[in-house]
Each structure stands twice: as structure tokens, then as C-alpha cells.
Homo-oligomer: A and B are copies of this chain.
Amino acid sequence: MAARFQTTYRIRCPADEIEARAQGIAVEQSVEMPLPAVEDASVLQDIVGQVAEIADLGDGGFEVRIALAVATVGEDAGQMLNMIFGNTSMHACVNLVDVEIPPEFAAAFGGPRHGIEGLRARVGAGRRPLTATAIKPQGISVPALADLAHRLALGGLDYIKDDHSLADQAFSPFAARVPAIADAVRHATVLTGRATRYVPMLNGDRGRMQGQLRLARECGLDTVMMAPMLSGVATLQAIAREWPDFAVLAHPSLSGGGQIAPDLLFGTLLRLWGADALIFANYGGRFGFSQPLCRNLSRRALADLHGLRASLPTPAGGMELARVPELLDFFGRDTMLLIGGSLLSARERIPQEGAEFHRAVETYFA
């Protein structure tokens, strides 16, 4: 018997079509050809996807579990995504909501190289929740970005990341921006005594990222951000594998409105593929994610998964200082709160607001 793992889809269709739809996904996500054309009996037995269960959820909704062959994934995160949702993504009425992770995948992908504990250790945080913010807007000069980073760092926050829009544009090229901001943050830490980390955003293809990682290392940095759905999840996997001294924050750009359920994508898949922290659109912010979804995402990121390290759930997107108690009650200690825009709104009081935010988080469970 070839090893299999189950993938779960939610489908909306007429009841008399669901069996054919389920069988269609089983074939599409494995051999993608008419079964009578498959000449090899072992392929029919060991490779072709199998419909494991069809559950009627009512109101025209169904949940379908398909057993796919572990061997079809190999050891490539891109190929895993290809096999669990590649062609099926082109059907508008199908969502991917769960993927069983067999031990083979945990061994092949390795999960976070640092995870929650590594991110805490970097900033000497013990067991407390962490704080983060973002440097923006794009379009200002490198000295202006560095000055802003300095003021943010004076507040003593744990992680200060590039906005995900900061790429390699002419107004703040990566090669000029990163050393300048790294310096500015380092100078602030001398004043604060904190271990605040600057986290640059990687961009472009992996070839460019290699140069960016080398520069980041030269600048004394040990944490970077990337957007795996934009850059390719295989790129995340490669960076986690080949730059193991770096912790990686995953940004949700291009992660979609739920075609792949965000709790699965972030809490399980991106963790499996090596993301140390998972930035996601929190409930009650600018995006429509629900409380249960955010709770599930956080639980998945922290749940036991064949001994892989936990990833750090990092809710973001329209958050405010006043919500710190509510969010920490909801997410608990194992979280990093990311407040960007509302902190920047303090303008000349940025260091004070930052310090207030950090103090609120740092002392909440103390």
C-alpha cells in the first residue's frame, strides 16, 4: 500500500453532481487524464487520487476528502501546493480547507528553523507576547525611512519590519535602505537597551533574494520577511533550508480571500514549509476574517505537528493600541501583535506611543 494523505475541499454544487465533482478532483489532482488511458496498473492503485468521503453540509455545500499519494509531492513545497490545489484552484466553487500532514512531509520540509522560541530568544522576551511594527510609507527617501525606524525603535518594540510594499524601487533601493535602517535601529537599541530587530522585506526572484540575504547578514541582521504566495512557497522552503541562521516572517500578500482557507494556509502549510512567524489579517481590522478563523489559525500554528517548532501567530491589519488587552485575551501569550499605521499616526509622539504599546504587551501577563 502506497502512503496517502488526505486533502479536504468545500464544494458548492447540485447534490446530483457532487460524486462526479469529487471524483473529478481526485483525478485532476493526481494524474489529470481519463483513467481508461492509464496503462499502468500500479498508477491506478498507488497514484490516482481516491475519494475518501463526501459529507453533505446542507444548503448545497459539501465537504469532500480526497486521498492523494505522498509520493506525488516529493520534497518540494511548490509541488505540494501544485498537488493539493494547483488545477483545482481554477474552479471558482471549490475551497481547500484542510490537508493532512503525514510524518514524511514534516521530515521533508522541516517547519520553522526558529519558531516562536527562536523569535523570543532573539529579543530576550522570556515567555511573553511580542510586539512589531512596520516602516512606511513607500516613496519617502532612505534617510527618512531610517529616521522613522529610529523613532520606532526608541519605543523598544521587538520587531520593526519593512512595509511589504518596500521592494527595490528607485526612491529607496534595497541596497541603500537596508544598511541605513539597520544602523538607525542599532543606534536606538544602544539608547533603549532593547534587542529590537529590523526585518527587511525580500523581493524579486530567489536570485535577487540571495544577494539581499547576503547584504542583510553583512548588516548584522538575522530576521527577514517575504510573501510566500507572491514569491513562491518553494522560495520560502529554500530560504529556510539554506539560510538557517535567518528567521523568516511570512507576509500574506496575494494569499487570497479564502480559496485556500487562511487557517490552513498560514497555520499549517506555511509553518510546515518553514515560516517562523505568520502575519495575517486579523478580525476586526480592514479585512473580513472572522474570529473563529483567526483562532483556528493561531491554534494550528501552535499545535503539535510531528515535533515541528511552533510558528508565531502575528495578527495585523488595522489594529490599534486600545485593542491590546482584547487581543492578548484572545490570542494568549504565544502571539506577536503588529501595529503599523495607527502607531505612525502618532507622528512626533511615535517613540512614546511605541513604548506605550510595548509596555502594554510586555506587562499584560507579567
Contact = CB atoms under 8 A, between A and B. Distances in A.
B167 A79 contact: yes
A207 B204 contact: no
A39 interface: yes
Given A90-B287, A286-B24, A82 B165 contact: yes
Interface string A282-301: 00001111000000000000
Contact of A31 (B30, B165, B206): B165
A210 B204 CA distance: 16
A69 B165 CA distance: 12
A164 B47 CA distance: 15
**Interface residue SS majority, chain A:** loop
A356 interface: no
Contacts of A85: 254
Interface string A2-36: 00000000000000000000001000101111101
Given A47-B138, A89-B256, A252-B90, A168 B79 contact: yes
A180 to B, nearest CB: 17
Contacts of A192: none
Nearest to A140: B40
A76 B168 contact: yes
Given A40-B140, A206-B235, A232-B230, A30 B91 contact: no
A139 B47 contact: yes
A144 interface: yes
Contacts of A167: 74, 76, 78-79, 82
B82 A30 contact: no
Interface stretch (A56-64, A121-129, A340-348): A340-348
Contact of A79 (B92, B203, B206): B203
Nearest to A229: B89
Contact of A33 (B34, B75, B136, B227): B136
Contacts of A342: 34, 37
Contact of A136 (B31, B86, B136, B255): B31
A253 B87 contact: yes
A42 interface: yes
Given A204-B78, A205-B237, A32 B340 contact: yes
Contacts of A102: none
A235 B40 contact: no
Contacts of A50: none
A340 B340 CA distance: 50
Contacts of A254: 81-82, 85-86, 89
B37 A207 contact: no
A278 to B, nearest CB: 14
A176 interface: no
8 contacts: A34-B341, A37-B345, A39-B347, A40-B140, A74-B170, A78-B227, A90-B252, A92-B258
Given A71-B170, A79-B204, A81-B230, 18 more contacts: A28-B286, A31-B136, A31-B137, A32-B341, A34-B344, A37-B341, A76-B168, A79-B167, A79-B168, A82-B227, A85-B254, A86-B230, A89-B254, A90-B255, A90-B287, A94-B257, A205-B238, A207-B242
